[in-house]
């Protein structure tokens, strides 16, 4: 399907003009380690069921992005099996025996290649989609994400995934400083802490959109659909 033309998405603090070929859908850390029992998120004492509400809305956006032939990128937080990319400060956090690299029901916690490190089956990347392995919370730090985006002339990001106030927020801030316009669909991000989820979204759109825009998946899908209808009408 031909990529649609620019279209306005209803968003806060004001409308976001989406240019589909220049906009990547970025899916942050939708890994079993954060979303399923027995992973790193649960080892930190969190109720992982709170994150699962983001899966279905992301699935819808992902299907639309793929159907339009637009850019999709995924990230995974995790460390090398020898933990050489794990700073001591990060390693020390959490309870002894339940820290990064310790064994768990889905393999070693937050270690690349383990079962828990995989993206949840509903959002499994296609072979041609970029998967960024990141050792930090932000997706730009110590990764090739900026280079991958620049190579594809991407200037806008729809940022989805988990958790709202940690890896999503850090990534939006990093992206904003690098000149990307970021739109965050509120139903496609989630947190173990509803109050931090709300605060995270509020911070993004405050002060005239200091870090970016907030909308939701229905409004994005509606706009994408209108653009497709407009393109099809012009072509007939």
Q: Which of 12, 134, 142 is nearest to 74 (CA)?
A: 134
For the chain, first and last CA: distance in Å?
Answer: 15
- Verify whether residue 29 is a known catalytic residue: yes
Tokens standing for residue 88:
């001591």
62 Cβ neighbours under 8 A, 6+ residues apart: 25, 27, 72, 123
Q: Work out whether 29 is an interface residue with ligand C5J (CB under 6 A).
A: yes
- Verify whether residue 23 is a known catalytic residue: no
What is the C-alpha to C-alpha distance for residues 103 and 97, in angstroms, rounded to an integer? 8
Q: Work out whether 123 is an interface residue with ligand C5J (CB under 6 A).
A: no
Instruction: Rank residues 22 and 184 by Cβ distance to ligand C5J and give the closer one.
Output: 184
Among 71, 156, 163, 217, binds ligand C5J (CB under 6 A): 163
What is the C-alpha to C-alpha distance for residues 131 and 72, in angstroms, rounded to an integer? 9
Q: Looking at 33, 133, 134, 137, which residue is catalytic?
A: 134
Q: Work out whether 162 is an interface residue with ligand C5J (CB under 6 A).
A: yes
Q: Tell me which residues in 59-88 interact with ligand C5J (CB under 6 A).
A: 77
What is the C-alpha to C-alpha distance for residues 40 and 52, in angstroms, rounded to an integer? 15
Instruction: Rank residues 6 and 113 by Cβ distance to ligand C5J and give the closer one.
Output: 113
Instruction: Rank residues 22 and 27 by Cβ distance to ligand C5J and give the closer one.
Output: 27
The site for ligand C5J (CB under 6 A) is made up of 29, 34, 77, 137, 162-163, 166-167
Active site residues: 29, 134, 167
């Amino acid at each position: 399907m031909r990529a649609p033309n620019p279209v306005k998405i209803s968003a806060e603090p004001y409308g976001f003009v989406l240019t589909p070929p220049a906009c990547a859908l970025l899916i942050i850390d939708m890994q079993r380690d954060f979303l399923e029992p027995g992973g790193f998120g649960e080892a930190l004492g969190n109720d992982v069921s709170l994150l699962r509400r983001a899966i279905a809305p992301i699935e819808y956006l992902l299907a639309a992005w793929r159907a339009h032939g637009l850019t999709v990128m995924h990230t995974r937080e995790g460390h090398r099996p020898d933990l050489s990319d794990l700073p001591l400060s990060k390693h020390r956090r959490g309870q002894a025996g339940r820290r990064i690299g310790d064994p768990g029901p889905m393999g070693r916690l937050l270690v690349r290649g383990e079962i828990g490190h995989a993206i949840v089956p509903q959002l499994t990347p296609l072979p041609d989609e970029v998967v960024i392995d990141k050792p930090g919370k932000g997706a730009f730090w110590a990764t090739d994400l900026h280079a991958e985006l620049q190579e594809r002339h991407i200037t806008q990001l729809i940022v989805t995934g988990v958790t709202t106030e940690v890896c999503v927020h850090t990534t939006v801030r990093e992206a904003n400083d690098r000149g990307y316009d970021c739109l965050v669909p509120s139903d496609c991000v989630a947190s173990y802490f509803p109050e931090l989820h709300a605060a995270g979204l509020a911070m993004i759109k405050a002060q005239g959109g200091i870090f970016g825009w907030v909308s939701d998946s229905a409004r994005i899908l509606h706009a994408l659909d209108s653009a497709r209808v407009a393109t099809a009408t012009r072509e007939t």
